[in-house]
Structure 1
Amino acid sequence: MDGSSSNAPVQQLTAEAAAQLQEGIGLVLSRWTALQMAIENEWGGRDTGEKSNQLNVDIFSAFTQSKGAKFKN
């Protein structure tokens, strides 16, 4: 057994859907007041903006690299 809880087919994310997901994550983070204050005031150091960008990438990866997630061209 592979440990999966169902035999449902794996849904694939198109390149367009992946781009929309990435954009959506960016929009949510851009509206997060505390994060924007942290960036503006460099609460995370001089590279706070870069850390914010990495957060976007990490969240996207968490959704797209989870077990069973795949891209379709």
Structure 2
Amino acid sequence: LGVNNRDLRTFKEDLGTTERVASLVPSNVTLVAESAIRSAADARRMAACGAHALLVGEALVTTGDIAGKARELMLVDDAEVRS
């Protein structure tokens, strides 16, 4: 289930959207946090509320180091999030 953190009418971003919806999603459903993920802290925040995956676009295309940004976002350790 994808939850878009960007309001497509106003383009305002709010990571709280996924946080508010996460508790309503059954544990056997894959929760994808979409948009507004720009940093490892954002990725950790989404994982901490129950997101299993992230859809990241703008953070990658606006950086000068796509590979570095991808590494930053992917190196969020599940054990770190759950501790």
Name the TM-score, length of structure 2 as normaliser. 0.25
Structure ranking higher in helix proportion: 1
Which is greater in Rg?
Answer: 1
Name the TM-score, length of structure 1 as normaliser. 0.27
